[in-house]
Amino acid sequence: MNMHDPIDFREFARALGTVVDYATGNTVFSEGDTPRYMYIVLAGSVDIVHRDKLIETIAQGDAFGILGLLDEQPRTVTARAKENCELAVIERKKFRYMVEEVPNFVWYVMDELAQRLRSTNAAL
């Protein structure tokens, strides 16, 4: 396996995180919230919105909320369930464990951050 090959961390996240269901339209977190978790979409999709403008839709297998765990700054966007979805909710301590102990997880995180940056730039 190449270090840049995609890795499906959904089952690992399901085992390590808490699984939470969100109904269509429910808010996962709001702009200004204190970041406590990152999320991996196990099923469904989540819209990322900034001041009522859609920035990106996060699909099954993708992660969001990572930046807040890295810099501990308030959330800059709102995340809302686009459809009924199932999310793995991973707290900071478990996130750090995954970064330090799980092979290739840091590449997954960097890829997810790059995708978020590209989506944000495209939305501007």
86 beta partners? 21, 43
pLDDT at 39 over 60: yes
pLDDT at 5: 44
| Banded pLDDT at 87 (limits 50, 70, 90) | very high
What are the two backbone dihedrals, phi and then psi, of residue 112, each rounded to the nearest 5 degrees? -65, -40
DSSP annotation string for 60-97: TT-EE-HHHHHH-PPPSSEEEESSSEEEEEEEHHHHHH
Which range (70-74, 87-91, 100-104) has the least confidence?
Answer: 100-104
pLDDT at 19 over 60: yes
Question: Tell me, which fold does domain 10-117 have in CATH?
Answer: Jelly Rolls (2.60.120)
pLDDT tens for each residue of 44-70? 999 999 998 999 999 998 889 998 888
Task: Give the residue among 38, 34, 29 at the shortest CA–CA distance from 92.
Answer: 38
